[in-house]
């Protein structure tokens, strides 16, 4: 029996080929579903339907095999397993894509001048206001950042004031946005600023 004949053997198809196909199809369509939701949340009204088309097409291929082989319990395991792995891949992919922008609001009791300087050295525009907390006056600093740059901004906030409160929210629509440009000397300027402040 050659390889092709072995692959087309009905028992092998039912026990291996079809379950593997269902498993892989579920991983693909659930992952695409996650991407579609990301696109919807970002207002990408043309890409989201396109991904949705292929998502449903792959799902139909998988569910068709389930319906044609209702007595094979392995197919149900493959279907559920593909959904679980697809969910994991979708979450992982979402973290890697890091699409869109975030609004970061920092609340601190300290003079925010140093924080504003550090953020603006890195190219982020800020807005600050005086506010009143429960027990004392506080300062609020607002800025918009790319999602993939969030960790960098959070580190700047923590280095400035480890006790500062900050909140992060998704930004779906913006009228105008300033994004930082790549600057080779940014790190040098930032370190220089920090050393000057430590020397005071």
What average pLDDT does the structure give for the chain?
82
Helix axes 186-198, 113-121, angle to 10 degrees: 160
CATH, domain range 101-198: 3.30.70.120
Phi, psi of 50 (to 5 degrees): -65, -45
Q: What is the pLDDT of residues 38-92, one digit of tens each?
A: 888 777 889 999 999 999 999 999 999 888 888 888 999 999 999 999 999 988 8
Residue 133 pLDDT: 78
Nearest CA to 164 out of 128, 122, 196 is that of: 128
């Amino acid at each position: 029996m050659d390889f092709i004949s072995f692959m087309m053997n009905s028992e092998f198809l039912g026990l291996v080929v079809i379950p593997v196909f269902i498993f892989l199809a579920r991983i693909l369509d659930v992952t695409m579903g996650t991407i579609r939701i990301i696109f919807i949340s970002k207002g990408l009204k043309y890409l989201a339907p396109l991904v949705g088309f292929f998502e449903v097409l792959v799902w139909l291929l998988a569910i068709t095999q389930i319906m044609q082989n209702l007595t094979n319990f392995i197919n149900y395991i493959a279907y559920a397993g593909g959904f679980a792995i697809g969910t994991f891949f979708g979450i992982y992919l979402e973290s890697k894509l890091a699409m869109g922008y975030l609004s970061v609001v920092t609340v601190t009791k300290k003079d925010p001048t140093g924080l504003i300087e550090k953020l603006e050295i890195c190219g982020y525009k800020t807005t600050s206001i005086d506010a009143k907390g429960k027990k004392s006056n506080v300062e609020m600093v607002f800025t918009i950042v790319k999602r993939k740059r969030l960790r960098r901004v959070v580190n700047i906030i923590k280095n400035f004031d480890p006790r500062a409160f900050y909140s992060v929210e998704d930004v779906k629509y913006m009228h105008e946005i300033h994004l930082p440009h790549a600057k080779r000397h940014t790190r040098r300027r930032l370190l220089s600023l920090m050393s000057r402040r430590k020397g005071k």
